Chain A
Amino acid sequence: GAGVSQTPSNKVTEKGKYVELRCDPISGHTALYWYRQSLGQGPEFLIYFQGTGAADDSGLPNDRFFAVRPEGSVSTLKIQRTERGDSAVYLCASSLIPGIQETQYFGPGTRLLVL
């Protein structure tokens, strides 16, 4: 079956611009997670959705970052006024249900480069 998909696979933008990153989870998965991975680091949690609502957004670094999941499936991560420090791979993951034992399946990521 289809895994988690993310678009675009690569995004180059200029400092100060607005970007949207899309995640399409595995069909039927109710939990969706966004992580960010910088070079040489492990993935760092950003935000987690149960259905349509953000269950935990404590990892968002500041108010330039925002994410939505209006219909409980596809999610969009939005970054305003991008900065060079936002350059990273943005990973999306989904799990069948929320839960600490549930396997999270990752998408291939979006590589964001802010010039």
Chain B
Amino acid sequence: RKEVEQDPGPFNVPEGATVAFNCTYSNSASQSFFWYRQDCRKEPKLLMSVYSSGNEDGRFTAQLNRASQYISLLIRDSKLSDSATYLCAVNMYDQGNLIFGKGTKLSVKP
């Protein structure tokens, strides 16, 4: 089983739609959780850190469920500019490196 798994894509949604991505992690020692956004042929950029209490940034909401070992990202009122690949990343207590999922591609259509 992969350490970090994400919903297979692509997700094709119309503008204005709400879309949710899930990510599961296998190691219960995972301590920190992140969502990165990656545009085609560009580097990953941090979208949100994910905290135990959940957190929101404008149209984006991230949730963490430690008991079930998954994190989620909700995007409301999708914009064309949200089209990208969304990468889930975790790291463990004693490790500096991030472990990434494969990413989920989102295409928002007019």
Point out residues on A near B: beta carbons under 8 Å.
Answer: 31, 33, 35, 40-45, 48, 50, 55-56, 59, 91, 95, 98-101, 103-109
With known contacts A42-B102, A100-B91, A101-B49, A59–B43 Cβ distance under 8 A: no
List 4 tightest A-B contacts by C-beta distance, closest first: A42-B100, A106-B43, A45-B97, A100-B32
Point out residues on B near A: beta carbons under 8 Å.
Answer: 4, 31-32, 42-46, 49, 87, 89, 91-93, 95-103
Contact B42 A45 (CB under 8 A): no
Interface of B is mostly: strand
Which of A33, A41, A50, A91 is close to B43, meaning CB atoms less than 8 Å apart?
A91
Contact B102 A48 (CB under 8 A): no
Contact A41 B45 (CB under 8 A): no
With known contacts A100-B31, A106-B43, A108-B43, A41–B95 Cβ distance under 8 A: no
The residues of B that contact A35 with a CB separation of less than 8 Å are 97-98, 100
With known contacts A42-B87, A42-B103, A98–B96 Cβ distance under 8 A: yes
